[in-house]
């Protein structure tokens, strides 16, 4: 894939995000870090200890409410922060081109959050978790996409 100079690349999973900018030209990628976000999100078992709630059913019996998945809620909050940061970075550019690379769940959530803005032109989506790769590996994966 060829990226114009100034194109932003967002690499994310539910715990780490890298916002990169292409300083190279369309023929040779040169990704530079603009921002790094990391989140410490322990598993649900370490965040909540309450038993699931109980309630009466219309038929007169009792039922149990499902447990809150605190880990997933933390991931959603982190992805919302990532989208907010990306939108702030994009607001300084006009027009803003973005390549989004994330694991499948994060990709779907970020796509929704970023598409609503209208200020971003999403030029490519890469369904792959590259958040813990080195910059040369990220450049190679994007060039091959």
pTM above 0.75, yes or no: yes
> Quick one: 106 exposed, middle or buried, by C-beta within 10 A (0-12, 13-18, 19+)?
buried
Could you tell me which residues are beta bridge partners of residue 54?
64
pLDDT tens, position by position, 67-87 = 667 677 878 888 899 988 888
The span from the CA of 14 to the CA of 110, in Å, is 10
For tokens 């992805």, the residue is 79
Q: What is the b/e burial string over 52-80, where b = at least 16 CB atoms within 10 angstroms of the residue's CB? A: eeeeeeeeeeeeeeeeeebbeebbeebbe
Task: Please enumerate in sequence order all residues whose Cβ is within 8 A of that of 25, keeping only pairs 6 or more positions apart, or say none.
Answer: 4, 5
The predicted structure's pLDDT at residue 12: 92
Q: What single DSSP character describes residue 67?
A: P
Instruction: Look at 47 and 87; give whichever has higher pLDDT.
Output: 87
Region 113-122 average pLDDT: 76
Q: Residues in the chain, how many?
A: 145
Instruction: Look at 7 and 68; give whichever has higher pLDDT.
Output: 7
The predicted structure's pLDDT at residue 49: 61
The predicted structure's pLDDT at residue 96: 78
pLDDT tens, position by position, 29-44 = 899 999 898 887 666 6
The answer to which of 4-13, 16-25, 56-65, 119-128 has the lowest mean pLDDT is: 56-65
């Amino acid at each position: 894939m060829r990226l114009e100079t100034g194109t932003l690349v967002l690499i994310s999973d539910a715990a780490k995000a890298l916002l990169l900018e292409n300083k190279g030209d369309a023929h040779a990628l040169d990704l530079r870090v603009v921002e790094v976000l990391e989140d410490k999100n322990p598993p649900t078992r370490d965040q909540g200890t309450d038993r699931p709630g109980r309630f009466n059913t219309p038929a007169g019996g009792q039922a149990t409410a499902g447990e809150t998945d605190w880990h997933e809620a933390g991931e959603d909050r982190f992805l919302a922060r990532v989208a907010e940061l990306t939108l702030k970075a994009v607001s300084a550019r006009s027009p803003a081109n973005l390549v989004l690379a994330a694991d499948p769940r994060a990709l779907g959530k970020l796509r929704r959050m970023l598409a609503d803005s209208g200020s971003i032109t999403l030029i490519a989506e890469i369904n792959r978790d590259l958040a813990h790769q080195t910059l040369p590996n990220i450049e190679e994966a994007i060039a091959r996409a």
